[in-house]
Amino acid sequence: MLTKPLLLVPAVIAFAFAPMAAPAPVSQDAPAAAKSSVKITPESQAKAHKLYEVDCAMCHGANGSGKTDIAKSMQMTLDDWTDPKTLAGKPDQVLFDAIRKGKDKMPPEAEGRAKNDDVWNLIHYIRSMAKEPAASPAPDPAPAAQQ
């Protein structure tokens, strides 16, 4: 009768001193893919341009302004990517997730149509649509003091 509790003691000691693995942190919204270190080349941007023309331009416009007949007919207000302020506060991962998963009425870009590196190059291409703000003209030099 006394032996049953004594058998429990070694089990408790072994369990108490066994190395415990910390559980991996679980993210509720883990990113779809960590940003790859794509190399931006003229070829990769040409490919991104073609992908944009086929899958994006019909709604977002050839220049990225978002002002298209399709967007208007679907009652969508799309961001104007030609304005540098539009994408300034949006991290690349947010853009990646919107492209990969879809957003509102926008369908997702399936991996069969574009690999992750293609999407990262597309994001770079979209960011390149922003027009640089016009440089302010240099102020006129002050007139020379007459003596």
Cα separation, 76 vs 141, in Å, equals 48
Within 13 A of 48's CA, how many CA atoms are on the CB side? Answer: 23
| pLDDT digit string, tens, across residues 63-80 | 999 999 999 999 999 999
The predicted structure's pLDDT at residue 117? 94
The predicted structure's pLDDT at residue 24? 37
The predicted structure's pLDDT at residue 131? 82
Fold topology of 53-127: Cytochrome Bc1 Complex; Chain D, domain 2 (1.10.760)
Q: Where are the alpha helices (DSSP H) in 1-147?
A: 3-17, 42-55, 57-60, 69-73, 84-88, 92-101, 116-127
Kindly report the pTM of this predicted structure.
Answer: 0.66
- Which parts of the chain have pLDDT scores under 70? 1-36, 132-147
The predicted structure's pLDDT at residue 112? 87
In single-letter form, the type of residue at position 4 comes to K
